Chain A
Amino acid sequence: MKTNSWLKWASQMLLFSLIAVVTQIAFVQDSVAAQNQKMKIALVLDKGGKDDKSFNSAAYQGVMRVKREMNSFVKYVEATDDNAFEALLRAFSQKKTFDLVISIGVSQVDSVKKVAALFPDQKFAIVDGIVDAPNVRSLVFQEHEGSFLVGAIAGLTASPDSSGLIKVGFIGGMDIPLIRRFELGFAAGAEAEAKRNHHRIKVISNYIGITADSWNNPAKAKELAMAQYDSGVQVIFSAAGASNSGLFDAAEEKKKFAIGVDSNQDWVKPGRILTSMVKRVDEAVFQTCKDVSEAKFKGGAVHYGLADQGVDYTLDEYNRSLLTPAVVARVEEIKKEIISGKLQVPDYYKKRK
């Protein structure tokens, strides 16, 4: 009997607190409701969602900056399955009130192609894929160029072992051509610099997996990194989205170096992360929105490379002590050569053709 009344009391309290929490949430959300804004931007994220700390996050941050700085209205949605992209794009286009619809990721290429043809007056932007239509701007990045730079940094920083051999490593997230492009650029950069200093070099590379889960598997990344470090690798570059944190843990434990990707990750483990290969999806998205607001939007592919800082290496207070002035000077030199076209970085996409 006693336990019964106690249970009743507890469940009532639980109910009340639940209601309290829910109304709190509702209140907070009400206060940020949209009010008279000018430009309307729609963002269709890939299945990873806005909190993948990598690619989708960058795009999300880009439109959030648009929202802040240009006082525009932003609506973002995450797709539930591969078949939902087209439905979402159609729904946005049908409203005819959105100035720009942004699609994130290669998996949306087919859907954008189809919907852009159905709604020729709607402006679209797609990141990482190319859709050839007058109302679609394709935002693609020269990942191999940035990877070449961080490869050079790895090749310059790692010291040769007794036999004069330098070992650097690469860890890819999902094994797809896009990440192969990172790998090829990185290996080329490291090899070029090692040869220049008359060292022999070996690039060890591993992939976390073959499905989309690979972007979110830090444990596997750490395992691979530990094995690479144990085999004598001194610097590892990882292009694996949220899995990268596993590499950073391994670098800290083994007191070796790592290189981050996509966003500037130097601050994550100061002193252990040599640099990051940044890919400014946020910047590209922001620029596109700005062009729309200034009525300068044009279709076609825009390639973001070293020249416009769409890809780059990072140098800030967290890694300044790790990169010697000589290394920085050499990397800047390489950067100029790539921009001027004097140095050709091997491109996985072109190599396959």
Chain B
Amino acid sequence: MRFKEKLPQILKPLISIMVGLSLGLLVTKIAGEDPWNVLEILVRGAFGSRYDFGMTLFYTTPLIFTGLSVAFAFHSGLFNIGAEGQLAMGALSVAAVGILFPNAPGFLAPVLGVLAAVVGGGIWGAIPGWLRARRGSHEVINTIMLNFIAAGLTSWVTLYLLKNPDSQNPETAAVAPSYLIRQFSFFDGAPVSMAFFVALMAAFVVWFILWKTVLGFEIRAVGQSESAARSAGIDAAKMRMLAMAIAGGLAGLVGVGEVMGNADRFRVGFSPGYGFTGIAVALLARNRPFAIVASALLFGALHKGASELDLETENVTRDLSLILQALVILCVSAEGVWDLAGERYKLLIKKKWIRSAPSPELAEEHYSPKV
């Protein structure tokens, strides 16, 4: 019974991805490419060699964090569009700690870095959480606006306080060597580090908090019905602030892989929109922590494979690869289509055109005479 309930939840996104990919490949066909060739390039670009696979995992890591961030806020009923700003603040905090405390002992330094990432991002998430809970201003507006503030603030701190004087690029000085986490040589030079496992752990922790603790239960209760939660004695405002702070902290963890595992420094504009792709990642995974890992892998592979597309084909450029990603997101988010399909299906059962009705009451309820 449980499996039967879960099956559509797993099948729906899978079918959506397939539909989206096929539509995208159809577009490449119209553009004058062989769709199978395009698919092959995409797969080869993402998983073709140890380095390619490494780059895919490298792009997957921040997407897991931002996906978890969006999902966590969503479980408390808030829509976190500010992951982009939170991750910038998190990454900058890591760099700042790495530069200001160069003498931290080797075993402590990475821990300090992780803490800085969580706190930096967390504060940036807590601000819209507080504004929503205490002042009632909408978190969508606030998180978007805070993205801009974060972009300005990180640029300013980078260029006026922590600037690398020898560089033409807007970046901070390098963090102390004790902060760096090892890259795995298996991936042939791709910057995959322990951060990937931190991401996997984060997924587990999020799942544990949300479904195995009282705190998680209260957060989810607030997300599903604020008034019900309140009458059950849950402090809804506090839960929302907490949820946003944790969401911000999760997004901030992107800084661990970027600063400690890849660039050794904070570079202004390092993120190609991880925070926004994170929304799609969470959406595709229906806010389930473990599904987010899979969905982040898909988007990471698309990002890596797509850059290869640019290079291998004549008529398909990056822009078309963006269409491909967008089509997948569109198909996954087209929830109405699924409901419509379900309705039609139930209608057919109702009219006894097909057999086996799982719950006639539901079909009755959804029957609409207009159709």
Question: Quick one: closest B residue to A214, CB to CB?
Answer: B170
Report if A99 contacts B (CB, 8 A): no
- Min CB distance A244 to B, Å, is 20
Please report the C-alpha to C-alpha distance between residue A78 and residue B310 in the assembled complex, in whole angstroms.
8
The reply to whether B315 and A26 contact each other, CB–CB distance below 8 Å, is yes
**In the complex with contacts A34-B314, A77-B307, A211-B269, A29-B168 CB distance below 8 A:** no
Please report the C-alpha to C-alpha distance between residue A130 and residue B310 in the assembled complex, in whole angstroms.
27
- Min CB distance B350 to A, Å, is 24
Report if B262 contacts A (CB, 8 A): yes
Question: Quick one: closest B residue to A22, CB to CB?
Answer: B30
Query: Which residues on the B side are within 8 Å of A254 (C-beta)?
Result: none
One of A141-149, A175-183, A282-290, A339-347 contacting the partner: A175-183
Query: Which residues on the A side are within 8 Å of B315 (C-beta)?
Result: 26, 29-30, 33
Secondary structure call for the A interface: helix
- Min CB distance A220 to B, Å, is 14
Tally chain B residues at the interface, Cβ within 8 Å: 36
Please report the C-alpha to C-alpha distance between residue A107 and residue B315 in the assembled complex, in whole angstroms.
27
Report if A196 contacts B (CB, 8 A): no
The reply to whether B168 and A92 contact each other, CB–CB distance below 8 Å, is no
What 1/0 flags go to A59-82 for Cβ under 8 Å of B? Answer: 000000000000000010110111
Report if A8 contacts B (CB, 8 A): no
Please report the C-alpha to C-alpha distance between residue A78 and residue B318 in the assembled complex, in whole angstroms.
8
- The 8 Å CB contact of A80, one of B165, B169, B263, B303, is B303
Please report the C-alpha to C-alpha distance between residue A34 and residue B311 in the assembled complex, in whole angstroms.
14
The reply to whether B310 and A212 contact each other, CB–CB distance below 8 Å, is no
The reply to whether B307 and A88 contact each other, CB–CB distance below 8 Å, is yes
Query: Which residues on the A side are within 8 Å of B52 (C-beta)?
Result: 87
The reply to whether A175 and B159 contact each other, CB–CB distance below 8 Å, is yes
The reply to whether A210 and B159 contact each other, CB–CB distance below 8 Å, is yes
What 1/0 flags go to B237-273 for Cβ under 8 Å of A? Answer: 0000000000000000000000000110001111110
The reply to whether A210 and B30 contact each other, CB–CB distance below 8 Å, is no
Q: Which of A27, A77, A92, A106 neighbours the largest number of chain B CB atoms within 10 Å of its CB?
A: A77
Please report the C-alpha to C-alpha distance between residue A80 and residue B273 in the assembled complex, in whole angstroms.
10
The reply to whether A83 and B168 contact each other, CB–CB distance below 8 Å, is no
A residues 247-279 with Cβ under 8 Å of B? none
What 1/0 flags go to A159-183 for Cβ under 8 Å of B? Answer: 0000000000000001111100000
The reply to whether A25 and B159 contact each other, CB–CB distance below 8 Å, is no
Query: Which residues on the A side are within 8 Å of B308 (C-beta)?
Result: 91
- The 8 Å CB contact of B311, one of A30, A92, A118, A129, is A92
- The 8 Å CB contact of A23, one of B30, B168, B263, B267, is B30
Report if B132 contacts A (CB, 8 A): no
- The 8 Å CB contact of A77, one of B45, B159, B262, B310, is B310
- The 8 Å CB contact of B318, one of A19, A23, A80, A114, is A80
Query: Which residues on the A side are within 8 Å of B24 (C-beta)?
Result: none
Please report the C-alpha to C-alpha distance between residue A128 and residue B155 in the assembled complex, in whole angstroms.
23
Query: Which residues on the A side are within 8 Å of B303 (C-beta)?
Result: 80
Report if A90 contacts B (CB, 8 A): yes
Query: Which residues on the A side are within 8 Å of B65 (C-beta)?
Result: none
The reply to whether B307 and A106 contact each other, CB–CB distance below 8 Å, is no
Question: Quick one: closest A residue to B306, CB to CB?
Answer: A80
The reply to whether A87 and B307 contact each other, CB–CB distance below 8 Å, is yes
Question: Quick one: closest B residue to A80, CB to CB?
Answer: B272
Please report the C-alpha to C-alpha distance between residue A23 and residue B267 in the assembled complex, in whole angstroms.
42
Please report the C-alpha to C-alpha distance between residue A78 and residue B308 in the assembled complex, in whole angstroms.
11
Report if A84 contacts B (CB, 8 A): yes
Report if B136 contacts A (CB, 8 A): no
Query: Which residues on the B side are within 8 Å of A91 (C-beta)?
Result: 45, 307-308, 311
Query: Which residues on the B side are within 8 Å of A80 (C-beta)?
Result: 272, 303, 307, 318
Please report the C-alpha to C-alpha distance between residue A114 and residue B190 in the assembled complex, in whole angstroms.
12
B residues 164-204 with Cβ under 8 Å of A? 165, 168-170, 189, 191
The reply to whether B31 and A29 contact each other, CB–CB distance below 8 Å, is yes
Query: Which residues on the B side are within 8 Å of A30 (C-beta)?
Result: 32, 315
- The 8 Å CB contact of A29, one of B32, B159, B191, B268, is B32
What 1/0 flags go to A89-101 for Cβ under 8 Å of B? Answer: 0111000000000
Question: Quick one: closest A residue to B272, CB to CB?
Answer: A81
Query: Which residues on the B side are within 8 Å of A75 (C-beta)?
Result: 311
Query: Which residues on the A side are within 8 Å of B165 (C-beta)?
Result: 352
- Min CB distance A225 to B, Å, is 23
Query: Which residues on the B side are within 8 Å of A27 (C-beta)?
Result: 32
B residues 46-101 with Cβ under 8 Å of A? 51-52, 55, 58
- The 8 Å CB contact of A106, one of B32, B156, B169, B189, is B169
The reply to whether A210 and B318 contact each other, CB–CB distance below 8 Å, is no
Please report the C-alpha to C-alpha distance between residue A293 and residue B347 in the assembled complex, in whole angstroms.
70
Please report the C-alpha to C-alpha distance between residue A26 and residue B310 in the assembled complex, in whole angstroms.
16
The reply to whether A107 and B169 contact each other, CB–CB distance below 8 Å, is yes
A residues 225-254 with Cβ under 8 Å of B? none
The reply to whether A33 and B314 contact each other, CB–CB distance below 8 Å, is yes
Query: Which residues on the A side are within 8 Å of B189 (C-beta)?
Result: 114, 118
Please report the C-alpha to C-alpha distance between residue A214 and residue B156 in the assembled complex, in whole angstroms.
14
Q: Which of B31, B32, B165, B189 neighbours the largest number of chain A CB atoms within 10 Å of its CB?
A: B32
| 15 additional contacts (CB under 8 A) given A84-B272, A107-B169 | A26-B32, A29-B315, A30-B32, A78-B310, A80-B303, A80-B318, A82-B269, A87-B51, A88-B307, A91-B307, A91-B311, A106-B168, A106-B169, A129-B168, A212-B269
CB<8 Å pairs between A and B, sample of 22: A22-B27, A26-B30, A26-B315, A30-B32, A30-B315, A77-B311, A78-B310, A80-B303, A81-B271, A83-B58, A83-B191, A83-B262, A83-B270, A87-B52, A87-B304, A91-B45, A91-B307, A106-B169, A175-B159, A176-B169, A211-B155, A211-B170
Across the A-B interface, the 9 shortest Cβ-Cβ residue pairs: A81-B272, A106-B168, A26-B32, A210-B159, A29-B315, A77-B310, A176-B168, A30-B32, A22-B30
